[in-house]
Amino acid sequence: MSEVVMKHANANLKEMVKEFERQLIESALAAAAGNQRRAAASLGLLPTTLHEKMKRLGLLRRSTPAVMEPETAGSALGM
């Protein structure tokens, strides 16, 4: 039996599939050194599909927005 099945013997099919998908995506990302395009290709997915799956599974890393310096903010807006 697979690790997912053993771990979730009492879970429903939907939850087991979700966990298995998470493990596959995490493995693909690790093998691709975090490169989502390469991970998507290795899984036979489009990068946008991988992104949506990662979003659904809570695998996306939240990046903190860059704080612009006051002098930089004006030049970035063309002022």
Q: How far is CA 22 from CA 6, 39, 68, in A?
A: 16, 13, 35
Q: What is the pLDDT of residue 11?
A: 80
21-35, 40-54, 57-71: segment of lowest average pLDDT = 57-71
**What CATH number was assigned to the domain covering residues 3-58?**
1.10.10
Cβ partners under 8 Å of residue 31, min gap 6: 39, 42
Domain ranges of the chain: 3-58
Q: Within 13 Å of residue 72, how many CA atoms lie on the same side as its CB?
A: 4
pLDDT digits (tens, 9 = 90+) for 8-19: 567 899 999 999
pTM, full prediction: 0.66
Q: What is the pLDDT of residue 79?
A: 46
